[in-house]
Structure formats: C-alpha cells, structure tokens
Amino acid sequence: MLGRLAAAPARLLAQSADALYTDRANLASARRAAGIWSAALAADPHDFGAAWKLARADYWLGGHGSDDQRRAFLENGVKAGQAAAALQPNRPEGHFWTAANMGALAESYGLGAGLKYRKPIRAELETVLRLDPGFAEGSADRALGRWYFKVPGLFGGSRQQAEAHLRASLTYNPQSTASHFFLAEVLLDAGRKVEGRAELQAVLDAPLDPDWTPEDKEFKEKAAALLNKQGG
C-alpha cells in the first residue's frame, strides 16, 4: 500500500513534466520540465525515462535559452543522454539525444567542439539506425544527413551521403519539415535551385505535427525566409 501511495506522486510529476514539455515554446515551461526530470534522475539514477527526457529538454533549452546558459544546457544534455544510453543501451532514446546535444555543441562552438564531437555523433546516430531506424520518424537518418552536410569532406562529409540520408528519413515521414528544410539546403548548396525551392515549398505546405509543433513553426519561418532569398 505504501509503495503504491509513493508511486502516485511520481506518476503525477512525470505527467506534469510531459505536459510542460509540450508547452516548450514557453521557455519557462521547458525549464520547469527539465527541473522535474533532473530531480527525478538525482533521486533515482536508474530512471531511464527521466534521463532521456532531460537530455531532450536540455537540447531544446540549449537552442533557445539565453546565450550565457545555452552551452551549459547542451553539455548537461550530453551527460543525461549518455546516462540514458548506459541504462538502456539497446534503446535508441539515449543515443539519439546524446548525438543531438553533441551536434548542437559542434555547430555552435567552433572548430574545437566540431572536432571533439564529430566521430561520437556519427557513432551514436549509427547506433540508433541499427537499433530502430524508424525512431522518431527517421530522426537518425535526418541527423546523419545534417552531419554529412556540415562536416567538411576532408573529415568524412559528403553531399551525396547527406542527400541519401535525408531522403531516407522522408520515407518515415514524407511531411517532415526538418527533413525537407535540410534537404533544401543540400540541394541549394549543390546549385540545384529548382529542386531546392520545391523542398522549401514542401516545408511551407506541410501540416503541423502535434508532437513537433514548435519545431515545425520554426522550420516554416526559416523556409519562408530562405525561399524569399532565393526569389521563390
């Protein structure tokens, strides 16, 4: 009986954190969700759900928080993701959110961060592909497409591989705003302007995904700006 009573508040807190994260466009809500998951993980270092969800929340906060806090969020997100991956190595969540936080650090904090995280990012994403290629609507292929596009050819980057992975991700969700936008960047960089503009239009035409509405809105804004820049 006492065990059931103790479990009830924990379940309510978990539900509250999930609801707060759904409202992550409001950064105060995202911070509160991260705080709940951080406290849960501190109380029980074996809480897999709290670990990967904290990594996910830190990734969002690392991309949207104040400049003086972003790096700390992302570095904490790496640690939380690694904790989740250690707890459940055959589940994709920890591996993916570890890679996502590393990727944001690599893109945002210069050559040193890029070199530091380049190989671990690819290794984690390839692990996700091995475990569950359809995880989060092909997110591993989407992120690998971004990796191959951003990494210089000297260090393993490849426009061809980038396009292949992004098109693979679209087989899981043909209306993914992220995949269409990243593919547009690859195509435009290759001088394939007609195809690139078509991908940007696909971003604008895609419906909002209930699970990814804040991200969808941001990609639509970026696509509109880039399409206007292209004269589309």
Q: Give me the CATH number covering residue 208.
A: 1.25.40
Q: How many domains does the chain have?
A: 2
Same domain, 92 and 163: no
Q: Does 198 fall in a domain? A: yes
What is the per-residue pLDDT for 135?
Answer: 98
Same domain, 84 and 118: yes
Q: Does 200 fall in a domain? A: yes
Whole-angstrom distance, CA of residue 199 vs CA of residue 195: 6
Same domain, 89 and 158: no
Same domain, 100 and 149: no
Which residue, 105, 132, 159, sits at the end of a domain?
A: 132
Query: Phi and psi (nearest 5°) for 193?
Result: -70, -40
| Amino acid letter, 77 | G
Q: Does 16 fall in a domain? A: no
Whole-angstrom distance, CA of residue 64 vs CA of residue 56: 13
Q: Which residue has the tokens 């399409």?
A: 227
Which residue, 114, 132, 150, sits at the end of a domain?
A: 132
What is the per-residue pLDDT for 115?
Answer: 79
Q: Which of 130, 95, 66, 65 is nearest to 103 (CA)?
A: 95
Whole-angstrom distance, CA of residue 122 vs CA of residue 103: 9
What is the per-residue pLDDT for 13?
Answer: 67
Q: Which domain holds residue 172?
A: 141-232
Tens-level pLDDT at each residue, the chain (232 residues): 334 434 445 566 667 999 999 999 999 999 999 999 999 999 999 999 999 999 999 999 999 998 999 999 999 999 999 999 999 999 999 999 999 999 999 999 887 778 799 999 999 999 999 999 999 999 999 999 999 999 999 999 999 999 999 999 999 999 999 999 999 999 999 999 999 999 999 999 999 999 999 999 999 999 999 999 987 5
Residue 78 has a CB neighbour count (10 Å cut-off) of 23
Whole-angstrom distance, CA of residue 154 vs CA of residue 54: 34
Which residue, 71, 106, 132, sits at the end of a domain?
A: 132
Q: Does 7 fall in a domain? A: no
pTM: 0.93
Do the Cβ atoms of 182 and 149 come closer than 8 Å?
yes
Q: Which of 82, 83, 61, 81 is nearest to 72 (CA)?
A: 61
Reduced to 3 states, what is the DSSP secondary structure of residue 25?
A: coil
| Amino acid letter, 202 | A
Q: Which of 141, 127, 120 is nearest to 92 (CA)?
A: 127
For residue 200 the two structure tokens come to 């940007």
Same domain, 60 and 104: yes
Q: Which residues contact 82 (CB under 8 A, 6 or more apart)?
A: 94, 98
| Amino acid letter, 81 | G
Residue 168 has a CB neighbour count (10 Å cut-off) of 18
Q: Does 14 fall in a domain? A: no
Q: Does 145 fall in a domain? A: yes
Do the Cβ atoms of 41 and 61 come closer than 8 Å?
no
